[in-house]
Amino acid sequence: MSDDYPSLLRSERMSLVQLFVPTEVAHDTVHELGELGDVQFKDLNPSVNPFQRSFVGEIRRIDDMSRRTRFFDAQIEKEKDVVPVRPLYECAPLLTVGPRSAQTVDELDTTLSQYESKLTTLNESYQTLSERTRELTEARHVLRETAVFFDKAHTQTSNIRSSFDDSATPLLTSHDDREGGYSAGSFDLEFVAGTIERSRVPTFERVLWRVLRGNLYMNHTDIAEPFIDPSTNAETRKNVFIIFAHGDVVLAKIRKVAESMGATIFPIDANADKRADALREVENRLEDLQTVLYNTGIGRRAELVKIGESLRVWQDVVKKEKLIYETLNLFNYDVRRKTLIAEAWVPTRDLTKIQLALRHATEESGTSVPPILHELQTSKTPPTFHRTNKFTEGFQAIMDSYGISAYQEINPGLFAITTFPFLFAVMFGDIGHGFIILIAAVYMILREKAMAKQDNGEIIGQFFYGRYIILMMGLFSIYTGFLYNDLFSKTLHLFHSGWTFPDNSTRGVYTGHTYPFGLDPAWHGATNALVFTNSYKMKMSIVLGVIHMTFALCLQVPNHFRFKRKSDIYTNFIPQMLFLQSIFGYLVLCILYKWSVDWTKSPVSPPSLLNMLITMFLEPGKVDPEKQLYPGQGFVQTVLLGIAGVCVPWLLISKPYLAWREMHKTTGAGYVTLGNGEETAIARHSTDETLEGEEEGNGRAIAEGDEEHEGHDFGDVVIHQIIHTIEFCLGCISHTASYLRLWALSLAHAQLSEVLWSMTLDGRTDPKSIGGWIGLGIMGFMWLNLTIGILCLMEGLSAFLHALRLHWVEGNSKHFEGGGYPFAPLSFAGEGSKEA
């Protein structure tokens, strides 16, 4: 059996199991299974609202706990000096299983709420203190600024008096100065002083101006340093203002406007001595406050440090607990509410492992009632689960992002491990560039452990995830680089060339010796190099493409066997294969044959294969003797065309005809369609007797509840087959042409690297002077950067995308069925790394 060892060829065989879990061990069981990460639970109460489920209370409590941990996290983040947070793997684990588990969670809950209230009170006192500090600071600023203002007014008194009656003075300034003069002289003008947010100053001024009809004198200055709100860390900038006006009503209005605009007003005395006293007092109090504030800050920080030591453990526990209770909510209670009933998909291979885990959970929790597990028979489609390792993971992900393959279908991800890097390398063939990406991949693989732990960011993380793909791509690129004999657009002379150029002539002479591996270096720099490589790569692309498609087509066969659709082999597979081979397989043979002939010795010139293919369709049976590739060509082509022509109706009609005959047979025998009734009956008989008894409760009702009804409508079959036929026949042509992208990209890559070389380093590699060396240095640096940036990264990504397309569209369309759904087991492992 192929199922003895896990393989990537098909997805894992899955079983639907039913678990009877006594309520006491439910929590620990789920915890254990979560650690195992191998069980996908089914929702047994899909019709029940989220808040009407059994464990809502617990979830709510845990939500509150997680809110608290979030609060701590936010507080720690906000702290200006970094508070050390001990990473999870360095902390002692907090055990939440076993007989004392409930108590542990309770304790954690109280710890968390204690810390929260402590922190909140600390925050509050810190806030009030800093609020008062702010007020005092503002008061100090107001006192200082007003003092400056009054001093200035004093010195100006004399010359203002002199200009009092001078009509030449502009109206506004004289007005202002006059008030200043009054205040400086006798201080009989009253004033309001305070602070206001800077952004509001213009509005404030405008409103006051309008409210008081201009009867005021206002002065304001900026406070240089911003005020920082300790709870939000938001900066506010403020201004000191002082407004002089006359009359109680007016002053009251000013105060009211100021207050409503969010200004703070300070009582300032007009007397300079009293102001000085006030300033001194404010400064004293400010000093005291700052000491207290500092101490509070230290206390708060100490608290945060203490929290930081175990915060990650708490977060981890809270996350796990939440997951556990959410899973428990998927379970069903039995009638006596003593046990929970769960249904789950598990890989059949791991059943014993899960049994062991269940036993372990029972032992841990200290009770003697073990959970009971048994397999259910079902006709439902199990989830698709490919067991990957770190090497195959990336390749599988590439294929899964196209579509999840159906349960037990041949998995294209397995073949992608070689075909994907190979097709990539055909487009990316260059020893040097391949070596660069190989180095990058090897570096990531060697530093695997360290890099997996740290957060790599989105871009590096992507590359890191695909490190094994990159490794393979690098290796294959080096290989195709040797085939193309291309090293950063230069060639390697590993063996003796098959061509000599006597007397500096541009015409090569064949030495009768064939270059053993890859492209002869003599082609490099030859005038017809491009013509030669183009013809070679184009034909190679077609050959590779047809081989790839033929292989993909063959992957249908095991699927047909597995899903017991043997008729599909001669209704689908054989006609498709014949169609493909009779046209494009023949083309490939012709290409190979043409390559094998030495046309210099042939009496006829080499015929164009493209024209040959076209005339094969347009004038079947007729071949111009001038353009004949081999004798008897016309007859062979007529036969092949005939085969291909027969395949189309064969493909179109045979499957619907079989379906029709089948239908005719059943109705003719007097049967009427009854959905899938027959199948379930068989399934039920095959389950053993004891199970039959157990299932009486919830299990069976659900297992039968939503059978997948696939009404095999005859019309559906016909339409599906018509679409399929058209898609395949047209697809064969367009897909073959699509493989020409291998040639195009490979050509573009080679040309680009040649252009880069000639524009930077060409002719500079042998410097004679110091200037030459500097030039070499600069150009070499540029060349290296552009090689990595454009040729490796950009060109690499483009080649990657094209390889992806060739797999998804050209390859998968030949056999892939898809439509499966991925296996999503309950697992703590994924949860932890996601947020931490």
Provide the binding-site residues for another protein, judged by CB under 8 A.
49-52, 56, 60, 63-64, 67, 70-71, 200, 203, 206-207, 210-211, 253, 256-257, 259-262
Q: How far is CA 720 from CA 8, 68, 651, 652, 714, in A?
A: 30, 57, 12, 10, 10
Shortest gap between Cβ of 145 and another protein (angstroms)? 24
Nearer to another protein, 55 or 464 (CB): 55
Nearer to another protein, 76 or 543 (CB): 76
Beta carbons within 10 angstroms of residue 715's beta carbon: 8
Give Cβ neighbours of residue 382 (< 8 Å, ≥ 6 apart): 14, 15, 16, 345, 407
Nearer to another protein, 9 or 56 (CB): 56
Shortest gap between Cβ of 657 and another protein (angstroms)? 46
Give Cβ neighbours of residue 282 (< 8 Å, ≥ 6 apart): 136, 139, 140, 143
Report the run of H or E that residue 755 belongs to, with start and end: helix 740-760
Strand pairing category for 238-245 and 190-197: antiparallel
HSE-CB for 805 with a 13 A CA cutoff: 11
DSSP per position, 717-745: HHHHHHHHHHHHHHHHHHHHHHTHHHHHH
Shortest gap between Cβ of 237 and another protein (angstroms)? 17
Question: CA 710, CA 363: separation in Å to the nearest integer?
Answer: 46
Shortest gap between Cβ of 813 and another protein (angstroms)? 33
Nearer to another protein, 49 or 505 (CB): 49
Identify which of 83, 399, 133 has the alpha carbon closest to the alpha carbon of residue 286.
Answer: 133
DSSP per position, 687-704: S-HHHHHHTTTTHHHHHH
Nearer to another protein, 199 or 454 (CB): 199
Nearer to another protein, 11 or 195 (CB): 195
Shortest gap between Cβ of 204 and another protein (angstroms)? 8
Nearer to another protein, 260 or 769 (CB): 260
Nearer to another protein, 204 or 586 (CB): 204
* Beta strand segments in 113-215, E: 190-197
Nearer to another protein, 209 or 443 (CB): 209
Shortest gap between Cβ of 215 and another protein (angstroms)? 13
Q: How far is CA 35 from CA 23, 325, 558, in A?
A: 19, 14, 36
CA 702 distance to own-chain centroid = 36
Nearer to another protein, 67 or 152 (CB): 67
| Strand partners of residue 14 | 347
Shortest gap between Cβ of 257 and another protein (angstroms)? 5
HSE-CB for 546 with a 13 A CA cutoff: 22
Shortest gap between Cβ of 295 and another protein (angstroms)? 27
Question: CA 123, CA 133: separation in Å to the nearest integer?
Answer: 15
Shortest gap between Cβ of 64 and another protein (angstroms)? 6
Shortest gap between Cβ of 828 and another protein (angstroms)? 22
Give Cβ neighbours of residue 654 (< 8 Å, ≥ 6 apart): 570, 571, 575
Q: Take residue 805 and report the two structure tokens written for it.
A: 């397309």
Nearer to another protein, 63 or 678 (CB): 63
Nearer to another protein, 49 or 686 (CB): 49
Q: State whether the Cα torsion 467-472-476-478 is positive or negative.
A: positive
Shortest gap between Cβ of 73 and another protein (angstroms)? 11
Question: How far is the first Cα of the chain from the last one, in angstroms, to the nearest whole number?
Answer: 43
Question: CA 21, CA 338: separation in Å to the nearest integer?
Answer: 9
Shortest gap between Cβ of 197 and another protein (angstroms)? 11
**Which region, left, alpha or beta, applies to residue 571 given φ > 0 means left and ψ of -120 to 50 means alpha?**
alpha
Is the CB of residue 126 less than 8 Å from the CB of residue 230? yes
Radius of gyration of the chain (CA): 42
Shortest gap between Cβ of 747 and another protein (angstroms)? 40
Nearer to another protein, 60 or 661 (CB): 60
Question: CA 834, CA 461: separation in Å to the nearest integer?
Answer: 13
Q: What angle do CA 685, 686, 690 make, to 5 degrees?
A: 85
Nearer to another protein, 256 or 493 (CB): 256
Report the run of H or E that residue 500 belongs to, with start and end: strand 499-500
